[in-house]
Amino acid sequence: MRLLIDAGNTRIKWALAEGSHWLRSGVVETGTPQALAQQLSGLSDVREIRVSNVAGEAVAREICALKLGPHGAPEFLLATASCAGVRNTYARPAQLGSDRWAALIAAWRMEARACLVVNAGTATTIDALRADGIFVGGLILPGIALMQRSLTDHTQLSVESGRYAEFPDNTADALFSGAIQATCGAISRQHALLAEPAAPVLLSGGAAAQLRPHLQLPVRLVDNLVLQGLNLVSTEKAA
Protein backbone atom coordinates (compact mmCIF):
# COMPACT_ATOMS: atom_id res chain seq x y z
CA MET A 1 0.00 0.00 0.00
CA ARG A 2 1.26 3.46 -0.94
CA LEU A 3 0.64 6.66 1.03
CA LEU A 4 0.46 9.83 -1.06
CA ILE A 5 0.75 13.25 0.63
CA ASP A 6 0.17 16.68 -0.91
CA ALA A 7 1.33 19.28 1.61
CA GLY A 8 0.15 22.66 0.36
CA ASN A 9 0.14 26.17 1.77
CA THR A 10 -3.30 25.80 3.38
CA ARG A 11 -4.15 22.09 3.49
CA ILE A 12 -2.43 18.70 3.59
CA LYS A 13 -4.26 16.14 1.47
CA TRP A 14 -3.49 12.45 1.58
CA ALA A 15 -4.60 9.23 -0.03
CA LEU A 16 -3.85 5.53 0.29
CA ALA A 17 -3.43 3.73 -3.01
CA GLU A 18 -2.91 0.15 -4.09
CA GLY A 19 -1.72 0.37 -7.67
CA SER A 20 -4.21 2.64 -9.45
CA HIS A 21 -6.96 2.01 -6.86
CA TRP A 22 -7.60 4.59 -4.13
CA LEU A 23 -8.53 3.08 -0.77
CA ARG A 24 -8.89 6.05 1.57
CA SER A 25 -8.26 9.78 1.55
CA GLY A 26 -8.41 12.75 3.88
CA VAL A 27 -7.35 16.32 4.55
CA VAL A 28 -6.01 18.37 7.47
CA GLU A 29 -5.09 22.01 7.87
CA THR A 30 -1.43 22.74 7.15
CA GLY A 31 -1.16 24.70 10.38
CA THR A 32 -1.86 21.50 12.35
CA PRO A 33 0.31 18.84 10.69
CA GLN A 34 0.16 16.65 13.81
CA ALA A 35 -3.45 15.95 12.84
CA LEU A 36 -2.10 13.95 9.90
CA ALA A 37 -0.56 11.41 12.26
CA GLN A 38 -3.88 11.14 14.08
CA GLN A 39 -5.81 10.47 10.87
CA LEU A 40 -3.28 7.83 9.81
CA SER A 41 -2.87 6.13 13.16
CA GLY A 42 -3.29 2.38 13.05
CA LEU A 43 -1.81 1.88 9.60
CA SER A 44 0.93 -0.71 9.62
CA ASP A 45 1.20 -1.98 6.07
CA VAL A 46 2.32 1.18 4.24
CA ARG A 47 5.20 0.15 1.99
CA GLU A 48 5.94 3.52 0.43
CA ILE A 49 5.32 7.21 1.17
CA ARG A 50 5.42 9.72 -1.68
CA VAL A 51 5.22 13.41 -0.85
CA SER A 52 4.80 16.74 -2.59
CA ASN A 53 5.64 19.44 -0.04
CA VAL A 54 5.48 23.17 -0.66
CA ALA A 55 4.63 23.95 2.98
CA GLY A 56 8.17 24.22 4.35
CA GLU A 57 10.65 22.37 6.51
CA ALA A 58 8.52 22.11 9.66
CA VAL A 59 5.85 20.18 7.77
CA ALA A 60 8.52 18.02 6.12
CA ARG A 61 9.83 17.05 9.56
CA GLU A 62 6.33 16.10 10.72
CA ILE A 63 5.91 13.87 7.67
CA CYS A 64 9.31 12.25 8.20
CA ALA A 65 8.29 11.46 11.78
CA LEU A 66 5.28 9.38 10.74
CA LYS A 67 5.50 5.78 11.97
CA LEU A 68 3.43 3.70 9.58
CA GLY A 69 5.28 0.48 8.98
CA PRO A 70 8.51 -0.63 7.28
CA HIS A 71 8.38 1.88 4.44
CA GLY A 72 11.70 3.64 5.04
CA ALA A 73 12.01 7.38 4.70
CA PRO A 74 9.32 9.31 2.81
CA GLU A 75 10.32 10.21 -0.74
CA PHE A 76 9.85 13.89 -1.49
CA LEU A 77 9.13 14.66 -5.12
CA LEU A 78 11.47 16.99 -7.01
CA ALA A 79 10.77 18.13 -10.54
CA THR A 80 13.05 16.62 -13.15
CA ALA A 81 13.73 17.22 -16.82
CA SER A 82 11.18 14.57 -17.83
CA CYS A 83 8.79 12.02 -16.37
CA ALA A 84 5.83 9.95 -17.58
CA GLY A 85 5.78 11.59 -20.99
CA VAL A 86 6.12 15.20 -19.78
CA ARG A 87 9.21 17.29 -20.59
CA ASN A 88 10.05 20.15 -18.25
CA THR A 89 11.55 23.18 -20.01
CA TYR A 90 11.97 25.27 -16.86
CA ALA A 91 15.37 26.99 -16.99
CA ARG A 92 16.24 25.04 -13.83
CA PRO A 93 13.91 22.01 -13.85
CA ALA A 94 14.25 21.25 -10.12
CA GLN A 95 13.07 24.79 -9.28
CA LEU A 96 9.55 23.98 -10.48
CA GLY A 97 7.28 23.33 -7.51
CA SER A 98 6.65 19.66 -6.84
CA ASP A 99 2.89 20.29 -6.73
CA ARG A 100 2.92 21.85 -10.19
CA TRP A 101 5.09 19.04 -11.56
CA ALA A 102 2.84 16.31 -10.17
CA ALA A 103 -0.27 18.07 -11.50
CA LEU A 104 1.26 18.37 -14.98
CA ILE A 105 2.06 14.64 -15.02
CA ALA A 106 -1.50 13.78 -13.99
CA ALA A 107 -2.95 16.18 -16.58
CA TRP A 108 -0.89 14.65 -19.36
CA ARG A 109 -2.05 11.15 -18.43
CA MET A 110 -5.68 12.36 -18.51
CA GLU A 111 -5.56 14.38 -21.72
CA ALA A 112 -2.40 13.54 -23.74
CA ARG A 113 -2.90 16.79 -25.65
CA ALA A 114 -2.37 20.50 -25.25
CA CYS A 115 -4.01 21.85 -22.11
CA LEU A 116 -3.79 24.38 -19.29
CA VAL A 117 -3.36 23.09 -15.76
CA VAL A 118 -4.79 25.55 -13.24
CA ASN A 119 -4.66 25.17 -9.48
CA ALA A 120 -6.66 27.84 -7.67
CA GLY A 121 -5.58 27.73 -4.05
CA THR A 122 -3.69 30.12 -1.77
CA ALA A 123 -1.82 30.95 -4.95
CA THR A 124 -3.14 30.37 -8.44
CA THR A 125 -0.85 28.58 -10.88
CA ILE A 126 -1.53 28.44 -14.61
CA ASP A 127 0.72 25.98 -16.43
CA ALA A 128 0.75 25.18 -20.15
CA LEU A 129 1.30 21.79 -21.75
CA ARG A 130 1.82 21.54 -25.51
CA ALA A 131 0.39 18.77 -27.66
CA ASP A 132 3.78 16.97 -27.60
CA GLY A 133 3.89 16.80 -23.79
CA ILE A 134 6.27 19.71 -23.33
CA PHE A 135 5.63 21.96 -20.33
CA VAL A 136 6.44 25.36 -21.80
CA GLY A 137 6.01 27.44 -18.64
CA GLY A 138 3.40 28.98 -16.43
CA LEU A 139 2.24 31.78 -14.18
CA ILE A 140 1.94 32.19 -10.43
CA LEU A 141 -0.39 34.82 -9.03
CA PRO A 142 -2.14 35.44 -5.72
CA GLY A 143 -5.22 33.33 -5.12
CA ILE A 144 -8.71 34.83 -4.91
CA ALA A 145 -8.65 35.28 -1.12
CA LEU A 146 -5.05 36.50 -1.10
CA MET A 147 -5.76 39.15 -3.74
CA GLN A 148 -8.56 40.55 -1.61
CA ARG A 149 -6.52 40.36 1.58
CA SER A 150 -3.57 42.17 0.00
CA LEU A 151 -5.84 45.16 -0.60
CA THR A 152 -7.52 45.12 2.78
CA ASP A 153 -4.12 44.76 4.51
CA HIS A 154 -2.59 47.75 2.73
CA THR A 155 -5.51 50.14 2.29
CA GLN A 156 -8.45 51.42 4.32
CA LEU A 157 -10.78 48.92 2.63
CA SER A 158 -12.52 46.54 5.03
CA VAL A 159 -12.86 42.78 4.79
CA GLU A 160 -16.39 41.74 3.92
CA SER A 161 -17.87 38.84 1.98
CA GLY A 162 -18.56 39.96 -1.54
CA ARG A 163 -20.42 38.50 -4.48
CA TYR A 164 -19.54 38.54 -8.14
CA ALA A 165 -21.04 41.27 -10.31
CA GLU A 166 -20.08 42.50 -13.75
CA PHE A 167 -20.37 46.08 -12.54
CA PRO A 168 -20.18 46.01 -8.74
CA ASP A 169 -21.96 48.77 -6.84
CA ASN A 170 -20.34 48.21 -3.43
CA THR A 171 -16.81 47.72 -2.14
CA ALA A 172 -17.11 44.10 -1.01
CA ASP A 173 -18.41 43.02 -4.40
CA ALA A 174 -15.79 45.15 -6.14
CA LEU A 175 -12.97 43.39 -4.26
CA PHE A 176 -14.30 39.90 -4.94
CA SER A 177 -15.24 40.59 -8.57
CA GLY A 178 -11.86 42.18 -9.22
CA ALA A 179 -10.07 39.07 -7.97
CA ILE A 180 -12.28 36.81 -10.09
CA GLN A 181 -11.86 38.94 -13.22
CA ALA A 182 -8.09 39.23 -12.79
CA THR A 183 -7.68 35.49 -12.39
CA CYS A 184 -10.00 34.59 -15.25
CA GLY A 185 -8.26 37.17 -17.43
CA ALA A 186 -4.87 35.56 -16.75
CA ILE A 187 -6.26 32.09 -17.52
CA SER A 188 -7.92 33.28 -20.73
CA ARG A 189 -4.76 35.09 -21.82
CA GLN A 190 -2.60 31.99 -21.33
CA HIS A 191 -5.15 29.87 -23.16
CA ALA A 192 -5.00 32.25 -26.12
CA LEU A 193 -1.18 32.20 -26.09
CA LEU A 194 -1.23 28.40 -26.19
CA ALA A 195 -2.86 28.80 -29.64
CA GLU A 196 -4.95 25.64 -29.23
CA PRO A 197 -8.60 26.79 -29.13
CA ALA A 198 -9.91 23.36 -28.15
CA ALA A 199 -7.33 22.81 -25.41
CA PRO A 200 -9.07 21.97 -22.13
CA VAL A 201 -8.45 23.82 -18.89
CA LEU A 202 -7.98 21.35 -16.03
CA LEU A 203 -9.14 23.35 -13.02
CA SER A 204 -8.55 22.29 -9.43
CA GLY A 205 -8.12 23.83 -5.99
CA GLY A 206 -10.29 25.40 -3.34
CA ALA A 207 -11.39 28.33 -5.51
CA ALA A 208 -12.12 26.25 -8.62
CA ALA A 209 -15.88 26.40 -8.11
CA GLN A 210 -15.74 30.19 -7.80
CA LEU A 211 -13.88 30.55 -11.08
CA ARG A 212 -15.70 27.96 -13.19
CA PRO A 213 -18.86 29.98 -14.01
CA HIS A 214 -16.79 32.90 -15.31
CA LEU A 215 -14.49 31.05 -17.69
CA GLN A 216 -15.71 30.90 -21.28
CA LEU A 217 -13.32 28.05 -22.06
CA PRO A 218 -13.52 24.23 -22.19
CA VAL A 219 -13.07 23.63 -18.46
CA ARG A 220 -12.77 20.29 -16.70
CA LEU A 221 -12.97 20.32 -12.89
CA VAL A 222 -10.53 17.79 -11.42
CA ASP A 223 -9.90 16.91 -7.78
CA ASN A 224 -6.55 15.89 -6.34
CA LEU A 225 -4.38 16.36 -9.43
CA VAL A 226 -1.26 16.46 -7.27
CA LEU A 227 -2.04 13.18 -5.51
CA GLN A 228 -2.84 11.55 -8.84
CA GLY A 229 0.46 12.77 -10.24
CA LEU A 230 2.37 11.43 -7.23
CA ASN A 231 0.84 8.01 -7.79
CA LEU A 232 1.81 8.09 -11.46
CA VAL A 233 5.40 9.02 -10.59
CA SER A 234 5.54 6.10 -8.17
CA THR A 235 4.13 3.72 -10.78
CA GLU A 236 6.62 5.00 -13.35
CA LYS A 237 9.58 4.39 -11.03
CA ALA A 238 8.33 0.93 -10.09
CA ALA A 239 8.01 -0.16 -13.74
Per annotation, catalytic residue among 99, 132, 169, 223: 99
Q: Please, which residues bridge with residue 12 across strands?
A: 7, 28
Give the whole-angstrom CA distance, residue 165 versus residue 180.
Answer: 10
153 has catalytic annotation: no
Give the whole-angstrom CA distance, residue 112 versus residue 35.
Answer: 37
DSSP code per residue over 168-219: --SHHHHHHHHHHHHHHHHHHHHHHHHT-TT--EEEESTTHHHHGGG--S-E
Looking from the CA of 162 toward its CB, the CA atoms found within 13 Å total 25
Q: Which residues are annotated as catalytic?
A: 99
